Amino acid sequence: MCVFREAVGHDAPGGIIRVLTSETGAEWESAATVVEAGFDLRDPKLSVMPDGRLMLLMGGSVYDDCGEYLTRAPRVSFSEDGFKWTVPRRVLSEDHWLWRATWHDGRAYSLSKLGEGEEPRRGFLYSSADGIEWEWIVEFKLPGVSETTLGFQTDGEMVALVRPGYVGRSRPPYREWSFSEMPDRIGGPNFILLPDGSLWGSGRLFTDEGPRTVLARMTTSTYEPVLTLPSGGDTSYAGMVWHDDLLWMSYYSSHEGGTNVYLARVRV
């Protein structure tokens, strides 16, 4: 399954969420759309809950009649089969933005980026047993903290890949963190732990040729880009799945004119 936002533009109101499905990864068809009247739904992320249901985490923004941004709050929707989804439900308070949920030992973990524009952003780590009620854990006190993907080592250590350029690590109960600053600035960070124990990250890297979506070799303190995918312009925000001994990556890019969604299968 693959999920992304559809709208007339990146900053335009009225976005909806499209869910695609495929048996092989070669031929795709629409499985569902998730819509909420009066809200711009964006940055959708899929995760599998402990009971087997799918959880769709997304942002819900509000614009005035002139198209000017007013406020936002996270939204969550659930499905048993990927085709029928519950009505989007707001979680947390206004101005929060839960980025990506990662499940571990029966609980979801996600970092919310709070604040934007000229006000300093803040990052708050939350946990939830059901995706609806979220409990605060700790604040990430990092300059410019923004989009964050969380993951877990086999020993329970949590790893965080943070925009604009940090890798963090923490052990239970995940209140004490150590961070390493990366030499590169990235957007749309994501990473995956492979069966051999290696970490691989992705994100938008600004190169001499412009923005590109990259695959990077990671540790709990480093991020080393090693592969540039066909990409350019407004790009990145990859989903990452390990399947049939290949790394599957879905991402968007605008290097071929319009904005398209791409699927890459990488032999690591």
Integer Cα distance of 27 and 5 in angstroms: 19
Could you give the angle at the alpha carbon of 76 between the alpha carbons of 103 and 102, nearest 5°?
15
| Of 232, 240, 239, the residue nearest 213 (C-alpha) | 232
Q: What does pTM read for this prediction?
A: 0.95
The string of pLDDT tens digits covering residues 39-80 is 999 999 999 999 999 999 999 999 988 888 889 999 999 999
- Residues forming beta bridges with residue 69, ordered by sequence position: 63
What pLDDT sits at residue 9?
Answer: 84
Integer Cα distance of 160 and 100 in angstroms: 11
- Residues forming beta bridges with residue 41, ordered by sequence position: 60
Q: Is the pLDDT of residue 203 over 70?
A: yes
What pLDDT sits at residue 118?
Answer: 56
Q: Which residues contact 230 (CB under 8 A, 6 or more apart)?
A: 253, 255, 262, 264
The string of pLDDT tens digits covering residues 136-182 is 999 999 999 999 999 999 999 999 999 999 999 999 999 999 999 99
Q: Cα–chain-centroid distance for residue 209?
A: 25
Element (H, E) at 131: none
Token pair belonging to 34: 């998730």
- Residues forming beta bridges with residue 199, ordered by sequence position: 193, 218
What pLDDT sits at residue 116?
Answer: 65
**Amino acid identity, position 18:** R
Mean pLDDT, the chain, rounded, equals: 95
Q: SS in 3 state form for 38-77?
A: CCEEEEEEEEECCCCCEEEEEEEEEECCCCCEEEEEEEEE
The string of pLDDT tens digits covering residues 10-36 is 888 899 999 999 999 999 999 999 999
The string of pLDDT tens digits covering residues 114-149 is 976 556 789 999 999 999 999 999 999 999 999 999
Task: Report the percent of the chain where pLDDT is more than 70.
Answer: 99
